[in-house]
Structure 1
Amino acid sequence: MTGTDPLSPWRRLADTCVLLDGFHALKHALRFGAEVPVAVTADRGAALALADELAPDVRPSLDALLTEVPEESYRALVPRPHPTAVAALAVRPSRAAHLEQLARTPRTAPVVVLDQPRNLGNAGAVIRLAAGFGATGVVTTGPLDPWHPTVVRGGAGLHFATAVERLTAPELPPGPLFALDPEGDDIRGLKLPDDAVLAFGSERSGLSPDVRARADHLVALPMRPQVSSYNLATSVAMTLYHWSLGSAGSPGTPGGS
């Protein structure tokens, strides 16, 4: 960052870029090739020490990017200051490229569909899960913006590791659609194909009529009687794990930072 005002690039780009809120969001964005034109921190030494400990692979990039600003200036840039006191702006990936990726067949990993999700944090947690399992992408239907800053924060910057877009039900990617529904067949008796489209309704209202009507298969997760539902992210995790057990293309290395 140059000039007398270290925050002028931020002000110029804030309305058109994706907010990366916290060290881990910035770390993941850099790892997966995001274009990050500006990054600030209230404590540069602490941020670089964190990189030395947790992400030495992106330490040189952080060293070149991070500009220290007064804490009050940092706090004014973000809706909720992160404990790591790091924030950055990234260029949002091309929608056209994402749509091409989602439509391409054959696929080596499923697409996750969140049908009319309501909770921003849950949506972010699902994107983080999907990236970890190597899913082709995460699609949302309905009004929730999957690139909302709260969703990006919940996803720890892993939006840049998979294709994340909002579509309507008729625009869903090709592939056999497996919709999670209490009336479906027990998932333990099924093998989920790599080109599956996995649809999850909201915890409150379940699947929308449009997505349910498009389903090729209704699938149920094992659940104790009288338990109403699982958390959305938990349901996605259980389903992707089940897929991974039967797929040669799923990630096989445990752990990470």
Structure 2
Amino acid sequence: MASATPQPAFVLVRPQMGENIGGAARAMWNFGLDRMRVVAPRDGWPNERAVAMASGAGRLLDEAFLCDTTEAALEDCQFVFATTARARGLTKPVVTPERAMEMAAQMIAAGDKVAVMFGPERSGLENDDIARANAIINVPVNPEYASLNLAQCVLLTAYEWKRASAEIEAERVDMAKTEWATGAEMEALNRHYEERLDQAGFFFPETKAEGMKINLRNMWSRMRLTRADVQMLHGMLRQMVRWKERGE
């Protein structure tokens, strides 16, 4: 059963290869989308190759809404996007996938039903299909090779939907059984190195010693270290000191 999560419907218009339909299903499910509509698939429906390619996303194919015409696939929608890489001679707003899914998120939050159309692999959507859309999604690809595989285009749009509709961490650090070092631990590390380097005569000449110590402290502050890092650096210095003392 389709999820209750508000989302756009992805409409595959006259798709040709079952493998691409299955790949599109996988791409949708990667980002939590499960409302697929299929218009007049060339090789009939259901499609064994689509099922094989869909793998764990086969449920989307089982629940896909099969239509004979584009008109039927869009009849309950208040806003429709059409994906195309080529200029079609139609006056339409043209937006990036990122902007399109931002718009979709706003409209869906307001209670509207939104659809995104994807055309057949060989030639893309026809002008008759695009004329039914309110806006065009155009991916800023290499103009010398603008062709995107159906599943690729679905994946890209689904990713942008996820970005527009969910709180996503742009960056994170996965901590491996440790924590960030505290200020006290960093201070102890600095003192340890400063003392040992001082004993080794590193801070020379004396007129530059204070500036060198500030630079050392500044270096530690630029390195966000974990407790494990700090312990390792202490251990490295201790071992080097032991090695030198044994040599002497």
Shorter-chain TM-score bucket reads 0.5 to 0.7
Report the secondary structure of 2:28's partner residue.
helix
- In structure 2, the partner of 1:185 is 95
In the TM superposition, 1:67-82 aligns within 5 A as none
Larger radius of gyration: 2
- TM-score w.r.t. length of structure 1: 0.51
Question: Cα deviation per residue 1:173-197 (whole Å; 9 max; x = unaligned)?
Answer: 4231111022433334441324421
Q: Counterpart of 1:207 in structure 2: which amino acid? A: L
Q: Verify the 8 A CA contact 1:177 1:199 in the aligned structure 2.
A: yes
The runs of 5 or more residues in structure 2 that have no matched partner are 88-93, 169-248
Alignment correspondent of 1:164:
64
Deviation by residue 1:229-250 (Cα, 9 ceiling, x = unmatched): 1111111100111111110399
Residue equivalent to 1:40: none
Shift of 1:120: 1.1
- Number of the residue aligned with 2:40: 142
- The structure with the largest strand share of the pair is 1
Q: Which runs of 5+ in 1 are unaligned?
A: 1-97, 251-257
Query: Map of 1:20-59 to 2, 5 A cutoff?
Result: none
Q: Name 2:154's counterpart in structure 1.
A: 236
Alpha carbons 2:10, 2:115 under 8 Å: kept: yes
What is the Cα deviation at residue 157 of structure 1?
Answer: 4.6
Deviations 1:72-108 (A, max 9, x none): xxxxxxxxxxxxxxxxxxxxxxxxxx8xx69xxx961
SS at match of 1:237: helix
Other-structure match for 2:8 = 110
Q: 1:221 aligns with which of 135, 139, 158?
A: 139
Q: Secondary structure at the match of 2:162?
A: helix
Letter of the 2:52 partner, please give it: R
Aligned to 2:18: 120
CA distance in 2, matches of 1:196, 1:243: 12
TM-score, reference length from structure 2: 0.53
Match of 1:212 in 2: 130
Using the TM superposition, give the Cα deviation of residue 209 of structure 1 relative to its aligned residue in structure 2, in angstroms.
Answer: 3.5
Amino acid paired to 1:212:
I
Q: Percent identity?
A: 26
- RMSD over aligned CA atoms reads 2.6
Contact kept? 2:13, 2:120, Cα under 8 Å:
yes
Q: Which residue is equivalent to 1:78?
A: none
Between the aligned partners of 2:143 and 2:59, the Cα distance in structure 1 is: 39
Per-residue deviation, 1:149 = 1.0
Matched residues, number: 148
Shift of 1:154: 0.7
Q: CA shift at 1:111, angstroms? A: 1.0
Q: Secondary structure at the match of 2:11?
A: strand
Contact 1:200 1:206 in 2 (8 A): yes
Which whole-Å CA distance do the structure 1 matches of 2:26 and 2:45 have between them?
12
Cα distance, 1:211–1:107 mapped onto 2, change above 3 Å:
farther
Write the letter of the residue equivalent to 1:156.
Answer: S
Alpha carbons 1:177, 1:216 under 8 Å: kept: yes
